[in-house]
Amino acid sequence: MIPMVDLKRQYHMLKEDIDSAISRVLEDTRFILGPNVSALEEEVAAYHGVRHAVGVANGTDALLLALRACGIGEGDEVITTPFTFIATAEVVAALKARPVFVDITPDTYNLDCSQIAQKITAKTKAIIPVHLFGHPADMMPIMEIARQYNLKVIEDCAQAFGATYHGEKVGSIGDIGCFSFFPSKNLAGYGDGGMIVTNSDEVASMVKILHNHGSSIRYYHQEIGYNSRLDEIQAAIIRVKLKKIDQFNALRRRHAAAYCSAITSRNIILPVASEGCEHVYHQFTIRSDNRGALADALQKKEIASAVYYPVPLHQQEVFMKLHHDSDPLPQSEKCSQEVLSLPMFPELSAEEILLIADVINKVSR
């Protein structure tokens, strides 16, 4: 069996360091907002070259608190992609703001920047680009549009820790970067976890208040906040893995290159890395108009595959009920019918990649 992600292989490789880190937390007994959370925040801020990083409970909360810190609320509009996990738009709706969906480019699956300006109205307050599957969104035109219209830019980096755009780490380019440490991510804990990064003192201060019940001084509350603190044990685990993240991402790129060499069928559309972008391949996602047959053939060989995402957000029942409109977004709709993600994790072997590619080639010849 070849899974989408094999967390056990990585754990056994790092077992001594991870077990030791967890043991120290248990001995120290500082479980909430402890020293590992503070240290991880400093390390992640330094890695991204920004002034602040604040740990939160999960990647969804990172987006939610980022929006709150930017003053996004009822009646506002936020431009984002429909081709992403629901959390990206869910948090907008949770604040009684409206997600406005812009179609994607079919090569990177990220926002089509040429279509953003036409969706801007007097109510637009922010843009949330998603660095989907680990490929950076095209941030230069996004930032130009944001400056022109005085919009905030909140980067959804849940799948892209360590990716770079023209030499800059994703998350450090917009006003705020939001990360997830869900177990399957490039940099992951063994449970939920998230983080925001920013150069804004005001944003960092507000997120620190909001993530701790709206309080900066115990039992004194300035805001209606949340219980959204990064867990100390998760922070200790993530600190061990952070030391290896560049090595792990380099292995993902090597595996992606091996896949691209081994999959020779002309009927398969392979992922690309745009000029100036360093992809970190959270997913290795191909496209085929014969997706069902590919998935079935892989399953017969006990090889996992997955569809991210089968229904774009503008066609999801919840958003159709909320907004009663659904402009066609043809690229998102087409890609949702064709994408198939193959196993991808640093510990994947060359033999496994060749086996997977062989199945793809035989079905797609």
Please report where in the chains the tokens 């890395």 appear, as a residue.
273
Phi, psi torsion values for 319, nearest 5 degrees: -80, -30
Helix (H) or strand (E) holding 221: strand 220-221
Check residue 57 and give its pLDDT.
98
Tens of pLDDT, residue by residue, the chain (365 residues): 999 999 999 999 999 999 999 999 999 999 999 999 999 999 999 999 999 999 999 999 999 999 999 999 999 999 999 999 999 999 999 999 999 999 999 999 999 999 999 999 999 999 999 999 999 999 999 999 999 999 999 999 999 999 999 999 999 999 999 999 999 999 999 999 999 999 999 999 999 999 999 999 999 999 999 999 999 999 999 999 999 999 999 999 999 999 999 999 999 999 999 999 999 999 999 999 999 999 999 999 999 999 999 999 999 999 988 876 668 999 999 999 999 999 999 999 999 999 999 999 999 87
Domain residue ranges in the chain: 7-102+109-242, 245-364
Cα–Cα–Cα angle for 115, 326, 331, rounded to 5 degrees: 50
Q: In terms of CATH, what superfamily is 245-364?
A: Aspartate Aminotransferase, domain 1 (3.90.1150.10)
Cα-to-chain-centroid distance, residue 168: 17
Check if the beta carbon of residue 314 is closer than 8 Å to that of residue 104: no
Check if the beta carbon of residue 31 is closer than 8 Å to that of residue 164: no
Of the candidates 86, 85, 112, 79, the one whose C-alpha atom is nearest the C-alpha of residue 331 is: 112
Q: For 305-361, what is the HEC assignment?
A: CECCCCCCHHHCHHHHHHHCCCCCCHHHHHHHHHEEEECCCCCCCHHHHHHHHHHHH
Check if the beta carbon of residue 333 is closer than 8 Å to that of residue 281: no
Domain 7-102+109-242 belongs to what topology? Aspartate Aminotransferase; domain 2 (3.40.640)
Sign for the CA dihedral angle at 265, 269, 270, 275 comes to positive
Check residue 325 and give its pLDDT.
66
Give me the amino acid identity at 101. Answer: F
Residue 139: count of CB within 10 angstroms of its CB: 24
Residue 105: count of CB within 10 angstroms of its CB: 17
Q: For 14-78, what is the HEC assignment?
A: HHHHHHHHHHHHHHHCCCECCHHHHHHHHHHHHHHCCCEEEEECCHHHHHHHHHHHCCCCCCCEE
